[in-house]
């Protein structure tokens, strides 16, 4: 039966014959039940027509070809790389469904449309298998270096001075080649740059103004005739306890005692001279 269908394919399905060949075309028509039934079958079902389930209990499924039937028997599918075989099977199934509808309608008995569909498959497969072209490095456009309009004036100058980088920050951000770098500041990852390095001399502290301070003579708050502020009018004696006294009278007694015994004008006084008197 298959041999008879292969000899009659150029009459029954000339367009499908141009895509998959006489053997696979006869198997597809016999599996579907006729050219009309094949034209009504979607492409996803034509792809698996003739596939058989295999019992592979405990066996490896690495070499099992899934989701393909009679179309997988074509030489172009078998010779294709393993990663591209399923793509080629899907394209052949899709175009075979279109060719079967053309054959069922009988509009192109010469098979011209089938040849065009086959050529489209080959062109598409050639693009898929073609090596990728290296991307060209595009040159960046020329930058626009026109001077920008900047508003000037007292307000703008004050703002620039306010947010300008200080000399201290410039020195901290500057590094020199050669001398060893300073340690970072308290494990923060920020160094000191040229600050504190010998020979930099660019950053100086503010100059201190030497002010001449005139030493004025100390003027007592009270006159010379006034009593000292440390003198109290309360005296504590072991016999009478706490007693109120006159500070001036106490000062007078002390002066009289000093004049009698420790004065520079009076001579040495002894007890014998007092007895003689």
Contact 109, 13 (CB under 8 A): no
Q: What percent of the chain has pLDDT over 90?
A: 19
Residue-range domain boundaries for the chain: 2-51+65-129, 246-276
From 34-43, 238-247, 268-277, the region with the lowest mean pLDDT: 268-277
Residue 277 has pLDDT above 70, yes or no: no
Mean pLDDT of 96-116: 92
Query: Which is more confidently placed, 261 or 99?
Result: 99
Q: What is the pTM of this model?
A: 0.46
Of 247, 216, 210, 214, the C-alpha closest to 230 is 247
2-51+65-129 maps to which CATH number? 1.10.246.90
Residue 185 has pLDDT above 80, yes or no: no
What local confidence, expressed as pLDDT, does residue 94 receive? 93
Tokens of 206: 């503010």
What local confidence, expressed as pLDDT, does residue 213 receive? 59
Query: Which is more confidently placed, 193 or 202?
Result: 193
Query: Which is more confidently placed, 152 or 138?
Result: 138
pLDDT tens track for 58-80: 666 555 666 778 898 899 998 98
What local confidence, expressed as pLDDT, does residue 93 receive? 93
Residue 234 parent element (H or E) = strand 234-237
Q: What percent of the chain has pLDDT over 70?
A: 63
What local confidence, expressed as pLDDT, does residue 97 receive? 93
């Amino acid at each position: 039966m298959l041999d008879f269908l292969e000899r009659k394919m150029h009459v029954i399905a000339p367009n499908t014959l141009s895509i998959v060949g006489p053997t696979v075309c006869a198997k597809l028509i016999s599996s579907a039940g006729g050219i009309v039934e094949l034209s009504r079958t979607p492409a996803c079902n034509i792809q698996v027509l003739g596939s058989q389930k295999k019992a592979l209990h405990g066996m490896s499924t690495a070499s099992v070809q899934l989701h393909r039937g009679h179309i997988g028997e074509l030489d172009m599918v078998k010779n294709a790389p393993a990663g591209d075989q399923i793509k080629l099977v899907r394209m052949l199934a899709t175009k075979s469904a279109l060719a079967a509808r053309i054959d069922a309608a009988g509009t192109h008995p010469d098979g011209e449309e089938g040849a065009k569909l086959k050529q489209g498959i080959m062109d598409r497969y050639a693009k898929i298998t073609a090596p990728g072209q290296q991307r060209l490095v595009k040159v960046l456009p020329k930058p626009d270096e026109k001077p920008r309009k900047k508003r000037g004036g007292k307000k703008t100058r004050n703002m620039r001075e306010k947010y300008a980088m200080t000399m201290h920050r410039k020195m901290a951000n500057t590094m020199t080649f050669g001398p060893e770098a300073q340690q970072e500041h308290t494990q923060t990852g920020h160094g000191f740059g040229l600050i504190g390095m010998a020979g930099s001399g660019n950053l100086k502290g503010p100059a201190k103004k030497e002010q001449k301070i005139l030493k004025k003579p100390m003027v007592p708050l009270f006159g010379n005739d006034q009593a000292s502020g440390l003198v109290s009018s309360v005296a504590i004696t072991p016999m009478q306890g706490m007693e109120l006294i006159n500070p001036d009278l106490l000062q007078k007694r002390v002066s009289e005692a000093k004049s009698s015994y420790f004065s520079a004008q009076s001579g040495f006084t002894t007890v014998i001279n007092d007895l003689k008197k």
